[in-house]
Amino acid sequence: MTDIPAEPKVAEVDPARTDKMVLTGLLALPALFLTVLSLVPLFLLLQLSFAHHDEGGLWTPSLELTQYAKLLNPLFLKVAAFSFTLAIGTAIVSVAIAFPAAYFISRMRRRAQVTWLVFLLSTLSLSEVLIVFSFQVLLSGSGAMVKALMALGLMSSAHSLYPSFGAVQACLIYVVLPYIILFLYPAVSQLDGDIPAAASTMGASPVWTFLTVTAPIVRGPLLSAGLLVVIWTVGTYLTPLVLGRPQNWTIGIQISNAAMTTGDLPLAAAQAVALVSLMVGLLGLTRWLSGSGSVEP
C-alpha cells in the first residue's frame, strides 16, 4: 500500500503582528520625511555658521570659529538677554491667565465648554500680522484704548501708547493666550472634581486649594506650556519690530539684520545655531523639572 505524503504545514500568521508591521510601515515614511526635513536644514545652517564671510554678502566654505566668537559681542548678549526676559515674562503671564481660564472652562456645562472652545479655535484664524496691526490702531493716539483711558481720567492728553515694551508684551500675550488655554484644557479636564471638596473639608479655601493642590498636579503641562510660549516668543520678529523701539528688538530681528542688512550670513547662521542650542537645553531642563507622576497633556 502506497503511503500518501503528508501535506506541508502552512505557517500561521499572527494578525496582531501583521497589523503592527503594517502600522510601522505606514509610520516609517512620514517619520523619515520629518527627520530629513528637520536635520537637513539644521546641517546646512551648522555648515554655514563655520563658513568664512566674504565682502558683498558672500561666503566661502570653511571651518572657522570666527562667527561664534562674535556671539560674545556685548550688543548681541544684551539683545539675547532681553529676548529671553521678554519670552519668560510672556510665558509667566500667559500661563497665569490660561491655567485658571482652562480650569473654569473645564468645570462648565458641556454646551458652555463647546461654545468657549469653538470661540478660542476661531481666534486662531487671525494671523499675527492682522493682530499686530490691529494693536497698532488700538494703541494709537486716536485709538479706542487712549480714548477710554482719557475718559477714565488716567491720561491727561492723547498720545500713542506705542512703540513701547508694554505694547510688545501685551500683543504677544494676546497672540499666544488662545493656544495655551487649548493646550492646558485636556490636562485640567482630567482632574478629579472631588479634589476641591476634599481640600475644603481640611479647611483650605478655594484659592489656596487651587494654588497648592490643583496646580502641582498639573505641573508637567504647566511647564510645557511655559516652554511652548518661550519657544514661540524668544525669536519673535514682527511684534517688536512694529510695536517696539530698537531697545525692544529681539534676537529674531538681530539675526535678520545680520543676514539682510549687513549681508553676514555666517554670523546670522551662528546666532541661529546658538538660539536653537539654548532652546534644546531649555527643553531638557523643562523635561527634567516636569518629573514623573504629573498629568500629561
pLDDT at position 78, please?
92
The topology under which CATH files domain 63-290 is MetI-like fold (1.10.3720)
Please calculate the CA angle 102-220-226 and round it to the nearest 5 degrees.
Answer: 65
pTM: predicted TM-score of the whole model, two decimal places: 0.79
Exposure b/e, 253-270, CB count within 10 A at least 16 = b: bbbbebbeeebbbbbbbb
Instruction: With CA atoms as reference, report the closest residue to 167 among 130, 139, 133.
Output: 139
Q: Which of 67-73's residues contact partners 24+ apart within 8 Å by CB, and which partners? A: 67/264, 67/266, 67/267, 67/269, 67/270, 68/270, 68/274, 70/267, 70/270, 71/270, 71/271, 71/274
CA distances from 48 to 68, 253, 255, 269 (A): 12, 19, 14, 6
CA dihedral (246, 162, 132, 114) in degrees, to 10, reads 130
Res 276: pLDDT = 87
Where along the chain do its domains lie? 63-290
Report the pLDDT value the prediction gives residue 294, as an integer from 0 to 100: 43
* pLDDT computed for residue 280 by the predictor: 84
**230-245 burial, b for 16+ CB within 10 Å, e for fewer?**
bebbbbbebbbbbbbe
107: phi then psi, degrees, rounded to nearest 5: -100, 0
First CA to last CA distance, the chain: 73
pLDDT score at 172: 94
For each of the chain's 297 residues, which pLDDT tens digit applies?
455 555 555 445 556 666 677 777 777 878 788 788 878 888 888 888 888 888 766 778 888 888 888 888 888 899 999 999 999 999 999 999 999 899 889 888 889 999 999 999 888 888 888 999 999 998 888 888 888 888 888 888 788 888 889 999 999 999 999 999 999 998 888 877 667 667 667 766 767 777 777 777 788 888 889 988 998 898 889 999 999 898 989 998 998 888 888 888 888 899 999 888 888 888 887 777 666 444 444
Q: pLDDT value at position 45? A: 86
pLDDT tens digit sequence for 145-158: 888 888 888 888 78
Length of the chain (residues):
297
